[in-house]
Structure 1
Amino acid sequence: MPFAIGAVVIGAALGLGGFYGLGGLKQTSGDPACRGAVTLAQKIAPLAHGEVAALTMATVPLRLPDLAFADGDGQARKLSDWRGKTVLVNLWATWCVPCRKEMPALEELQSKLSGPNFEVVAINIDTRDPEKPRKFLQDANLTRLGYFNDPKAKVFQDLKSIGRALGMPTSVLVDGQGCEIATIAGPAEWGSDDAVKLIKAALGTAAAGI
């Protein structure tokens, strides 16, 4: 299913401005501990084409904030809970049409690659009815994705503060140290061969210590 072009501006919902565009990802000062993620990004950059051509590969060593949210049981979780595992962090909301269209692709990616080395961590940021996103996932038969949510949408604010979220959806590929490998502004066909090959390459290269 083709996705809508561009990302949904989140300003109306959260009182934020801005939109995704060329050069929209703010550069930040480098974290020396994340240099390996930049090297990894350079190695897999040739695979960022086709359905994942919109990926922006990391060029500056950047550690993500330790995003805080809750799981489906209401238990507090943090991004650091996934240390040692490559994760695709995705922010979505039911009011975001491109987000809803993207969810089956995230489900497909989770089905194909989830395991001890990789997981899709899709965090819902609906700020009103907490049952609406759950019902959406149930109605769409999206059973492989774990349910994570942040009804205060602070995860969005945290990523926005480092220039990695200005609209919805947004996704960040993060290595096992919590460092950015790549970011995408808007939806992608995550279940496609292009996406699977890129992430498999990221996992294989990371395992090789490159």
Structure 2
Amino acid sequence: MGNGKLNLPALRLIMLAAIAGVLAGGVAVYVSGGGSGNQPGGAVAQGPAASDSCPAKAEKANTVAAAAVGDVAAMQAADPPLSLKFLAFDGPDGKPMTLAGHAGKTLLVNVWATWCAPCRAEMPELDALQAKRGGSGFEVVAINVDTGDDAKPKKFLTETGVKALDYYRDATMGVFNALKERALALGLPVTLLVDPEGCLIAAMNGPANWSGPDAARLIDVALGANP
């Protein structure tokens, strides 16, 4: 974020986060010396496990991806779009739920962990996006995948002043592994745009500036508003 330069303390933190990620299960952590740290490319590739496709959403996926510029340029069209309603995690009340429970809302789903330094850096920006745009038609669903209990992620959210985001949790890494099987998650963080019917429209691997104008325009297009 910012000017994209890393000072020595920040670099040391990222190196420690990378080591922690390896110890936690070999999950990659995305870092970069400039920009948002994500890597633009072609359409999101789907593995053979992605059988529940949403073919009618292809045009919308391409429209949304075309609006992904600047800070969110790595957001790639799902090809093909597919249903993610099956993704299972714990809701704010601690009870099991699936993404199907958010039917009727456009979602920005972000998978993160406290040991992932880029995840930690973008969490206040995701909180700001939820505070500004969250409502009956849109929600940022940030799913923490730390193993163990809730103490560490909840402490981090409190210390960083995150207030608008609801607390979603998957201590089993099931969400990440399901996305990895479908070639959607290569590391953390990973962010997905999901339409009100639970269909994946676009996805990116790596962090982004979610509180800036590029992100705002992307959400406008995803919601069907004028860019």
**TM-score, L = length of structure 2:** 0.80
Shift, 1:23, TM fit: 6.5
1:154 to 162, 174, 194: 174
Residue in structure 2 matched with residue 51 of structure 1 by the alignment: 71
Structure 1 counterpart SS, 2:93? coil
Deviations 1:171-193 (A, max 9, x none): 11001111111101000111111
2:24 to 9, 13, 16: 13
* In the alignment, structure 1 residue 174 sits paired with structure 2 residue 185: no
1:27 to 46, 50, 53: 46
The 3 A distance-change label for structure 1 pair 81 and 50 is same
- Which one has more relative contact order, counting CA pairs under 8 Å at least 6 apart? 1
Deviations 1:187-209 (A, max 9, x none): 0111111111111111026xx9x
Structure 1 counterpart SS, 2:158? helix
d(CA) in 2 for partners of 1:25, 1:12: 28
> How well do the aligned residues superpose, as a CA RMSD in angstroms?
3.0
Structure 2 unpaired stretches of 5+: 12-16, 31-37
Amino acid at match of 1:146: D
Greater shift in the superposed pair: 114-123 or 55-64: 55-64
Amino acid at match of 1:52: V
**TM-score, L = length of structure 1:** 0.86
d(CA) in 1 for partners of 2:182, 2:61: 18
* In the alignment, structure 1 residue 70 sits paired with structure 2 residue 59: no
The 3 A distance-change label for structure 1 pair 51 and 122 is same
Structure 1 unpaired stretches of 5+: none
d(CA) in 1 for partners of 2:204, 2:145: 18
* In the alignment, structure 1 residue 104 sits paired with structure 2 residue 124: yes
Amino acid at match of 1:13: A
